[in-house]
Structure 1
Amino acid sequence: MKRFLQDEIPKLNFKKALKKPIPIKCIQIDEPFEVESMEGLVKGKKGDWLMVGINGEKYVCDAAIFQKTYDIIDEN
């Protein structure tokens, strides 16, 4: 069985992929919170985002990660 370590990129012939732009629901929470996610109970910090995926799954996104990877869609 192959094993891949967190801090090492294996010398494999990787392809590049671009994540599909699938809109999800999200809201920034202004206090600490908890979410029952597919991984169990997850804690969010003040300013983190509560996300609802395309299959209704809920998860937490750190505020700094959200800012780097998401854009809010203007639905007007």
Structure 2
Amino acid sequence: MPKFRKKPVVIEAVQLRPGEEPYELSQAVVNGVVRYTEDGSVLIKTLEGVMSASPGDWIIRGVNGELYPCKPDIFEKTYEAVHDH
């Protein structure tokens, strides 16, 4: 099978923390894309349908502005912090 490398793209992401509603997601809540549940998880309308994110998961803004969840172990293997100078 041919091999491909992921293009270097800078993304925005915020990690969910128990009991917190990140400011970075407030507009998505207003727009109905994100909904907090009583058990602390978050429901996100993605391009593939509604997905759930739990505390500790990351919410990523994709290259087209879409939001989607990512488990912490996958996030750590895939992304590294960008430090603006």
Structure 2 unaligned regions, length at least 5: 19-40
* 1:65 alignment partner, SS class: helix
Letter in 1 for 2:6: K
Deviation at 1:19, TM superposition (A): 0.5
Which structure shows the bigger proportion of residues in helix conformation?
Answer: 2
The yes-or-no answer on 1:65 pairing with 2:74 is yes
**TM-score, length-normalised on structure 2?**
0.68
For the aligned residue pairs, the C-alpha RMSD in angstroms reads 1.1
2:6 equivalent in structure 1: 19
1:37 to 46, 51, 60: 46
Q: Which consecutive segments of 4 or more residues in structure 1 shift more than 3 A?
A: none
Kindly name which structure, 1 or 2, has the bigger radius of gyration based on alpha carbons. 1
2:56 equivalent in structure 1: 47
Over the matched positions of the two proteins, sequence identity in percent amounts to 35
1:35 & 1:51 partners in 2: Cα distance? Answer: 11
Structure 1 unaligned regions, length at least 5: 1-13
Deviation at 1:54, TM superposition (A): 1.0
1:59 & 1:69 partners in 2: Cα distance? Answer: 15
Number of equivalent positions: 63
* 1:72 alignment partner, SS class: coil
Letter in 1 for 2:7: K
Q: Which has the higher contact order (CA 8 A, sep 6+)?
A: 2
1:27 & 1:74 partners in 2: Cα distance? Answer: 15
**TM-score, length-normalised on structure 1?**
0.75
